[in-house]
């Protein structure tokens, strides 16, 4: 089989898990001899890794799918692979009928269907074992796709696939299947192989990452996993997301406080600050529980930063209930708030049983009120860092400026001609805004003075 001149392109939407899945798939395709192209229209294999968490994400995927249809008409040999949450885990019959020009349908996190399809096309069947072996590689060790190799500083490692929670608004458990923790050995192997290829920072992923290991009797938990990863040579920073408030135990806080490589930043969504709305969402905690948790995290992990997610306009949310969310955000002063307008997702409990009765105009107003509150909060928090010297891990140069992150996950830009990629350097903060900061390097050689 010769795929040397064949190219693949992967379009990725949605969460970090999809980014991780796309990289994995790219790696599998390169094993088969395909080369990456950043141009969809040049590809022989075109993958769409999709998200359906909100209607807007679904529309984006369908829009892109529609836009590539002419490519298939021009080139019938083009292989189109639809992957991710638009496909889901419950069979593809309906989708196949609706989208006859799609060649392969893959559930989230599963490169299998595409690899099998391409292998068959190339009379590769006799070598299925070899394919399987190549594939087995993906279970632990990972080879970074060529165009990113040696450049990638920060990588994601999925540690829990799927989700077994039943938040009433959320489609993810339906599309990604039940919760499955990956074996610890696989995760360590993946971290080691990433570090060997120059990756400095790993971020562990799970819909509820703090449930890691809880689906396996006597398995290691997230705190244990962090301890093991802290010993992996070459890995300099470790992060994890997303945490559910109910599983964020003191053992995790203690592990973060104790382990030098685990960064003091957490993503712990509240979703709403009103108890009745939280109950309708089936989140499993009250706003008071959440306030208590945030206080405890801040006490145990000195100087940490915390991000939250909030949905506005959940069915039945009154003005007064929304004010509770507003007050909570104003009181807790989170470092980051990811905001979303409620979007009914077909088949979820809220879609079936609760009318989407908050008008879009009100959803938008609530969204903007929280956004401007958060802008003030984040500006104040970041302004405290002005003039401070703090370590930043630099990732890449964007429009002439090096982009990096503090241990607390804040974005920092530095203007320099030096190559900062992959380095953790102390920098002095010279400007702060709500969403990012600017800094200068210390010990930069002074501007030379020319003596006459």
Q: With respect to ligand SAH, which residue has the nearer C-beta, 11 or 169? A: 169
Query: Minimal distance in Å, beta carbon 51 to ligand SAH?
Result: 9
Dihedral of alpha carbons 274, 208, 26, 154, sign:
positive
Report the residue from 3, 168, 242, 325 that binds ligand SAH according to the rule CB under 6 A.
242
Judged by beta carbon, residue 175 or residue 221, the one nearer ligand SAH is 175
Q: Is 343 in the site for ligand SAH (CB under 6 A)?
A: yes
Task: For residue 194, give the DSSP letter.
Answer: H
Q: Which is nearer to ligand SAH, 79 or 172 (CB)?
A: 172
Rounded to 5 degrees, what are φ and ψ at 174? -70, -40
* Nearest of 102, 84, 80, 76 to residue 17 by alpha carbon: 84
Q: Look up residue 380 and give its two tokens.
A: 């104040």
Quote the least distance from Cβ 8 to ligand SAH, whole Å: 27
Whole-angstrom CA distances from 279 to 204, 237, 316 are 29, 36, 12
**CB 378 to ligand SAH: min, Å:** 18
**Distance separating alpha carbons of residues 182 and 206, to the nearest angstrom:** 10
Distance CA(191)–CA(186), nearest Å, equals 9
Binds ligand SAH by CB under 6 A, chosen from 223, 311, 328, 429: 311
Q: Which is nearer to ligand SAH, 70 or 359 (CB)?
A: 359
CB nearer to ligand SAH: pick between 34 and 342: 342
362 binds ligand SAH (CB under 6 A): no
Of 145-153, 213-221, 338-346, 373-381, which segment contacts ligand SAH by CB under 6 A? 338-346
Which of 259, 340, 373, 383 is close enough to bind ligand SAH by CB under 6 A? 340
Contact 158, 205 (CB under 8 A): yes
From residue 191, alpha-carbon distances to 155, 197, 202, 219, 421 in Å are 9, 10, 7, 19, 19
Between the alpha carbon of residue 295 and those of residues 240, 244, 333, 395, the distances in Å are 20, 15, 11, 32
Shortest Å, Cβ 361 to ligand SAH:
17
Strand boundaries in 242-290, DSSP class E: 265-267
- Binding mask 184-223 toward ligand SAH (x if CB under 6 A, else -) reads -----------------------xx---------------
**Binding region for ligand SAH (CB under 6 A):** 53-54, 169-170, 172, 207-208, 242, 244, 269, 271, 309, 311, 340, 342-343, 345
């Amino acid at each position: 089989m010769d795929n040397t001149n064949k190219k693949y392109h992967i379009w990725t939407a949605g969460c970090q898990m999809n980014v991780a899945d796309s990289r994995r798939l790219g790696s599998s395709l390169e094993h088969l001899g395909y080369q990456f192209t950043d141009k969809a229209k040049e590809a022989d294999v075109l993958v769409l890794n999709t998200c359906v968490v909100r209607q807007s994400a679904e529309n984006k995927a369908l829009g892109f799918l529609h836009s590539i249809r002419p490519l298939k008409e021009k080139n019938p040999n083009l292989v189109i692979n639809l992957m991710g949450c638009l496909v889901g885990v419950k069979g593809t019959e309906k989708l196949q009928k609706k989208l006859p020009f799609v060649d392969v349908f893959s559930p989230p996190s599963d490169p299998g269907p595409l690899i099998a399809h391409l292998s068959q096309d190339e009379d590769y069947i006799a070598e299925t074992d070899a394919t399987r072996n190549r594939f087995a590689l993906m279970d632990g060790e990972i080879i970074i796709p060529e165009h990113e190799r040696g450049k990638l500083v920060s990588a994601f490692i999925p540690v829990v696939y799927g989700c077994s929670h039943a938040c009433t608004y959320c489609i993810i458990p339906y599309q990604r299947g039940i919760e499955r923790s990956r074996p610890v050995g696989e995760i360590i192997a993946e971290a080691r192989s990433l570090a060997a290829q120059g990756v400095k920072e790993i971020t562990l992923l799970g819909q509820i990452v703090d449930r890691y290991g809880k689906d396996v009797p006597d398995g290691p938990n997230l705190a244990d996993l962090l301890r093991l990863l802290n010993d992996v040579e070459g890995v300099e920073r470790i992060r994890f997301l997303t945490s559910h408030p109910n599983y964020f135990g003191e053992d995790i806080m203690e592990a973060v406080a104790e382990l030098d490589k685990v960064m003091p930043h957490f993503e712990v969504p509240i979703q709403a600050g009103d108890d009745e709305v939280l109950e309708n969402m089936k989140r499993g905690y009250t706003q008071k529980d959440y306030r208590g948790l945030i206080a405890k995290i801040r006490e145990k992990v000195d100087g940490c930063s915390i991000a939250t997610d909030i949905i506005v306009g959940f069915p039945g949310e009154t003005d007064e209930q929304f004010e509770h969310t507003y007050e909570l955000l104003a009181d807790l002063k989170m470092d980051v708030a990811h905001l979303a307008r409620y979007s009914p997702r077909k088949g979820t409990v809220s879609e079936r049983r609760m009318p989407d009765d908050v008008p879009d105009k009100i959803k938008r107003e609530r969204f903007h009120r929280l956004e401007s509150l958060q802008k003030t909060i984040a500006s104040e928090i970041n302004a405290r860092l002005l003039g401070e010297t703090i370590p930043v891990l630099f990732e890449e140069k964007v429009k002439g400026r090096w982009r990096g992150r503090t241990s607390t996950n804040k974005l920092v830009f530095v203007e320099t001609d030096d190559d900062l990629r992959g380095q953790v350097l102390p920098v002095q903060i010279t400007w702060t805004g709500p969403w990012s900061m600017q800094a200068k390097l210390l010990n930069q050689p002074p501007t030379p003075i020319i003596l006459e």
